Structure 1
Amino acid sequence: MTEDDRVRRLLRDLEGFVADASYTVGLGLDAYLEESGAGRVLRNNGRHILVQVATVVEKLPVAFKEAHPQIDWVAIGRMRNLIAHHYVKVNDRLVFTTLATRIPGLARDLELGE
């Protein structure tokens, strides 16, 4: 598999995670923050989406990242580390906001789904 093929595959994966984020956000903030089993599942889903996005980003070649300097690649990794290693400190409103704004922004910056 060539590097271009690998990047295309990673970007397809990222498109799927963007769609998952959109679906999750579409259920609404109240449902996301609800103190119930359903709310907990949504919050876990939201966190997992961000970890998946960061995993894809981590695998992208340096040259690809350098070609997109408008993206804060480091912040994406930091969010993943916060969720994975310091989950008790995670602010679920911030996660929801990230799913609602930063993930679609990333998709626009990378021209995904066009």
Structure 2
Amino acid sequence: MKYLIALCVCISVVVADISLKNQVPIEDWNMEVNPDGTYSYSYATGNNIRADEAGTGGEFAEGSFSWTSPEGDQISVRYVADENGYRPESDSLPVGPPIPPLIQRALDYIAANPGPDSNPGRR
């Protein structure tokens, strides 16, 4: 029985269609890592995916990436990542609705009139 199973597995491997026709070529690839912790990389593929980034390891990064959506639109994103977090910028990112006027008025009031707990060192 175990020989039959082994034979079936071998036949399956031989008959399997291992096709390389769906592979996308890497058209450009650059990478630089320096002893001081700075780095940069960029790549481009045959299906119009591109990315690049430069920064200092663990402290700062700035870059961009782009691709073509299934609808045929070119999507591009630029970003910065630092002590303030990851901040992407793109015309393709969704935008939230504007803050209603009454809420904005309340936020402005709160910012202009800090409460008694605004100075935690003073009791």
Which TM class, normalised by the smaller chain length? under 0.3
TM-score, scaled relative to structure 1: 0.17
Larger Rg: 1 or 2?
Answer: 2
Greater fraction of residues in helix: 1
TM-score, scaled relative to structure 2: 0.16
Structure scoring higher RCO (CA < 8 A, sep ≥ 6) equals 1
